Amino acid sequence: MRATLGDKILIGCFILIIVLLFSTMKTGTKGDWVVIEVNQQEVSRHRLSQDRVIPVTGRLGVTKVEIANGKARIRHSPCNNKICIKAGDIRFADRLIACIPNRVIVRVLGKQQRGVDAIVG
């Protein structure tokens, strides 16, 4: 079965709509703060704009959190799988990286928080 001219026009319209939708999507709200938690307790808060390395002691040992160029990441962790290190950088509000074995969470916050219902990101 061959595609008719109408089918091709319809497919082209769908592709155009999809491209327009993806190009107008907002990637995230700018982050302002990095909050570090250990065992669900906030242990430190730092500006995302100030470069630094923060050592944090968790259940297994020291996790090093790096803030550089407006992004945060876990640079070193004593856990076995290193999934938290492989997670890469975060810079938008309401994003987080968790080292579950060491019970360390690194979270980026913005000026306006979206709340619990928006954790889908």
Section 49-56 average pLDDT: 95
- Calpha distance 90→87 (Å, rounded): 9
Q: How is the chain split into domains, by residue range? A: 33-118
Does the reported pTM lie above 0.85?
no
Domain 33-118 fold: mini-chromosome maintenance (MCM) complex, domain 2 (2.60.320)
Section 11-32 average pLDDT: 82
Predicted local confidence at residue 51, as pLDDT: 95
- Calpha distance 11→46 (Å, rounded): 49
Predicted local confidence at residue 119, as pLDDT: 47
Q: Express each pLDDT in 65-102 by its tens digit.
A: 999 999 999 999 999 999 999 999 999 988 999 999 99
Residue, of 94 and 112, whose pLDDT is higher: 94
Confidence of residue 121 (pLDDT cuts 50, 70, 90): very low
